[in-house]
Amino acid sequence: MTATVTPATEPRAPAAPAPAGTRHHHACPLCEAMCGLVIEADGPRVTSIRGDPDDPFSRGHICPKAVALTDLHTDPDRIRRPMKRQGATWMEIGWDEALDLAASGLRAAQRAGGSDAVATFAGNPTVHSLGAMLYYPDFVRSLRTKNRYSATSVDQLPHHVAAATMFGHPLLIPIPDIDRTRHLLMFGANPHASNGSLMTAPDVVKRLKAIQQRGGKVVVVDPRRTETAQHADTHHFIAPGADAFLLLALLNVVFAESLARDSRAGALADGGEQLRALVAPWTPERVSPATGIAPGTIRAIARDFARAETAACYGRVGVSMQEFGGLACWLITALNLVTGRVDEPGGVMFTKPAIDPVAGRGMYSSAKIGRWKSRVRGLPEFMGELPVATLADEIETPGPGQVRALVTHAGNPVLSTPNGARLERALAKLDFMVSIDFYLNETTRHAHLILPPVSQLERDHYDITFHALAVRNTARYSPPLFAPAKGAMPDWRILSALTERMQAGGGWAGFKARWRTRIMRRLSPRGLVDRALKAGPYGAKASGNGDGLTLVKLERAKSGVDLGALVPMLPARLKTANGRIALVPEAVVADLPRLEARLAAFAAPRNGTMSGTLSLIGRRELRSNNSWMHNSERLVRGRRMCTLYMHPSDASARGLADGARARVSSRVGEVECEVEVSETMMPGVVCLPHGWGHHRPGTGQSVARAHAGVSINDLTDEQRVDALCGTAGFSGTEVRVSAVTA
């Protein structure tokens, strides 16, 4: 279908311009690096965006995405007024009507099917929005549904599982002290492209080079010789999904060769002897066929890491987006612990952020796995959410609790979740769907109502999450550059208005909820940030003299403030019931027999012939940040990014050459794409980027549609999950590749 738009009767008001010649300091809200920017504007027009040399954290660094902020702000395809769909036609409506329609549609679904008949999905940009981070949780609570989903269960959920089960809170993730370490061992991470992830480190390339310049070493373990691996001291190919096998063997060597180190954190850990017994059978010889790494090399990796003066082991999406992500993330932290690297300078440490999300109790603070299960497949809840791999099941399967309505916030799960084509079909069956988003994309085109928030330059910003995951303690608040257009609404006002409409029930609980909503709305994000700063570890109470950090002081420091290097935080930072570290968490260790059962399958010889299957992995480009950045011409022009990387031997066996068209098929679907032959790939492994597939009809992103590419998630399998926590098992999807004949 082709979307058409009928405008509302009242004209759109332009955004209020910034004063002529404005020079504005802002933290980039597009990825985890939090780079400081200097933005110059002349009235309503941005004239330049460059790195802020006075930012104490990013020190003037900037990547191509930041310059595209102006493209997002001025994008003619961006939705600026609420839109209601009637068939294939969209019409603009007023805010009061739109909000009332949203609430009535959600209430109707819950009257018909109960509270769980409404599901929610929050996409990646949610965590980059101050307003959403503060107001989205209350909105979800107002729905009283257990069908909560987000991008967490397709990205980093296993890291949260390891943190929660070992340290007592999902956000107590140890961060590599990259600026002081002399040995960085990375599994499935490519910070040259991501700018760092669950390791907020602006200008991470320079930071990695600094390790080598001070005589240290960077080691990368990955099925692809990534951009990061190409600049590392050593790179080791590993079979996709085999990281847990290798980590068990590294621990085996550490114990067998008496390479373990005593440390303060180690003295707080329970289960050392149990861990020694668990890893004893996992010798390098036993795991070598499964990993593709020689026993001698495995021993060398373990010895170099354990003997280094300072060292940190770090894993990212290649570790967490697989069937054994929970085990692998636990084993990375266990390796750091037994070698004395946790809570030590140059190792992995905990942050002391000015606004501390670990301090309070929220909907994301639970350390328990599986407080409830999904209705259809019985997948476990964690952090108040169910795995999004089962969302289509919950929509399509009749019965009590069937999902009849959906609210999405800044998400595009049709392109970002496994078997997106199936979810796409499921969305068309919903009774009602509302999307808080400013794009008509592959997901929101199925909505009955779109509520668009303002652009990133029209709202204030403070990175609540990423200051808590940073390699250095800093703080930075950014006021909006432009005032919103008349009648436009920031996401926090949209969420607050929906929360108020959805709150129900009398008595004390209902009164408290409504009172909280009114107070939150009155304070606004700015007021809430001020309160949190004053109550935080650098605030007036903590300072002891009433002269602590406040929002006013932070605003005066336009480029942010440096709060110092990471410092030892244990045992005070622990949130476990007994105040100790669980080195061998019962819930995680119970998953080891599943790994054992798969050893033979991983060790089976790979078939390199044309009829043989290959393992599919994903990748990220520096100029791309998920699907929603593809409507900026400056980011998608030039070299084609959506190609299939193949090793020369795999391409040759299938009669494929560089630039040829290939058909890639899996259990769930198939795509056709251009081949890029590359020796950076491990034989038997192929690679597609994520976030593409903009060929779907009925979308409103003209630039993205002209650079459509194909979606890797038309191939990934929603049935492949990490049984421990339900994370989608993207890495290692089995595919067949063949030449496309004319």
Is residue 15 one of the residues assigned to a domain?
A: no
User: pLDDT at residue 404 above 50?
Assistant: yes
Residue 606's pLDDT is 58
Q: Examine the domain organization and report whether 325 and 399 are in the same domain.
A: no
Residues 6+ apart with CB under 8 A from 306: 254, 259, 260, 261, 339
Q: Examine the domain organization and report whether 665 and 735 are in the same domain.
A: yes
Share of the chain above pLDDT 70, in %: 95
User: pLDDT at residue 587 above 70?
Assistant: yes
Residues 56-66: tens digit of each pLDDT: 999 999 999 99
Last residue of a domain, one of 470, 485, 516: 516
Is residue 358 one of the residues assigned to a domain?
A: no
Last residue of a domain, one of 469, 484, 516: 516
Q: Examine the domain organization and report whether 208 and 302 are in the same domain.
A: yes
Q: Examine the domain organization and report whether 252 and 326 are in the same domain.
A: yes
- Give 719 or 9, the one with higher predicted confidence: 719
| Per-residue CA distances from 436 to 122, 265, 697 (Å) | 10, 43, 20
Dihedral sign, Cα of residue 220, residue 221, residue 227, residue 233:
positive
Is residue 35 one of the residues assigned to a domain?
A: no
Weakest-pLDDT range from 21-25, 186-190, 291-295, 520-524 = 21-25
Q: Examine the domain organization and report whether 287 and 191 are in the same domain.
A: yes
Tell me how crowded residue 257 is: count the other CB atoms within 10 A of its CB. 13
Q: Examine the domain organization and report whether 192 and 99 are in the same domain.
A: no
Q: Which of 78-92, 538-552, 623-637 has the highest mean pLDDT?
A: 78-92
Rounded CA separation 305/308 (Å): 5
User: pLDDT at residue 403 above 50?
Assistant: yes
The arithmetic mean of pLDDT across residues 324-352, rounded, is 98
Q: Examine the domain organization and report whether 264 and 382 are in the same domain.
A: no
Residue 578's pLDDT is 97
Residue 741's pLDDT is 87
Residue entry with tokens 């036609």 = 89
The arithmetic mean of pLDDT across residues 424-445, rounded, is 98
Which residue range(s) make up the domain with 306? 173-349
Residue 13's pLDDT is 45
Q: Examine the domain organization and report whether 398 and 510 are in the same domain.
A: yes
Residue 19's pLDDT is 65
| Per-residue CA distances from 532 to 131, 139, 306, 447, 695 (Å) | 14, 20, 40, 35, 44
CATH assignment of the domain containing 705: 2.40.40.20
Is residue 70 one of the residues assigned to a domain?
A: no
Q: Pairing mode, if any, of strands 83-86 and 234-236?
A: unpaired
CATH assignment of the domain containing 216: 3.40.228.10
User: pLDDT at residue 159 above 80?
Assistant: yes
Give the confidence band of 613 by pLDDT, cuts at 50, 70, 90: very high
Number of helices and strands in the chain (H, E): 28, 29
User: pLDDT at residue 6 above 80?
Assistant: no
Rounded CA separation 588/579 (Å): 19
Give the confidence band of 547 by pLDDT, cuts at 50, 70, 90: confident
Is residue 125 one of the residues assigned to a domain?
A: yes
User: pLDDT at residue 119 above 50?
Assistant: yes
Weakest-pLDDT range from 207-216, 355-364, 410-419 = 355-364
Residues 240-280: tens digit of each pLDDT: 999 999 999 999 999 999 999 999 999 999 999 999 999 99
Q: Examine the domain organization and report whether 339 and 402 are in the same domain.
A: no
pTM, rounded to two decimals = 0.95
- E strand map for 283-393: 312-315, 348-349, 369-373, 380-382
Q: Examine the domain organization and report whether 117 and 208 are in the same domain.
A: no
The arithmetic mean of pLDDT across residues 43-49, rounded, is 93
The separation between CA 114 and the C-alpha centre of its own chain, rounded to angstroms, equals 31
- For 339-431, where are the alpha helices, taking DSSP H only? 391-396, 413-416, 420-427
- Give 25 or 5, the one with higher predicted confidence: 25
Average predicted confidence (pLDDT) for the chain? 94
Give the confidence band of 14 by pLDDT, cuts at 50, 70, 90: very low
Q: Examine the domain organization and report whether 120 and 179 are in the same domain.
A: no
Give the confidence band of 11 by pLDDT, cuts at 50, 70, 90: very low
On whether the CB atoms of residues 682 and 648 are closer than 8 A, the answer is no
CATH assignment of the domain containing 499: 3.40.50.740
Residue 626's pLDDT is 83
Residue 366's pLDDT is 75
Last residue of a domain, one of 480, 501, 516: 516
Residue 514's pLDDT is 84
Residue 283's pLDDT is 98
Residues 71-110: tens digit of each pLDDT: 999 999 999 999 999 999 999 999 999 999 999 999 999 9
Residue 363's pLDDT is 62
Residue 512's pLDDT is 81
Residues 662-710: tens digit of each pLDDT: 999 999 999 999 999 999 999 999 999 999 999 999 999 999 999 999 9
Is residue 60 one of the residues assigned to a domain?
A: no
Number of domains in the chain: 3
Is residue 237 one of the residues assigned to a domain?
A: yes
Is residue 565 one of the residues assigned to a domain?
A: no
Q: b/e string for 681-719 if b means 16 or more Cβ within 10 A? A: bbbbbbbbbbbbbbebebbbbebbbebebbbbbbbbbbe
Q: Examine the domain organization and report whether 499 and 394 are in the same domain.
A: yes
- Residue type at 135 in one-letter notation: Y
The arithmetic mean of pLDDT across residues 120-140, rounded, is 97
Q: Is residue 550 packed enough to be buried (19+ CB in 10 Å), middle (13-18) or exposed (0-12)?
A: middle
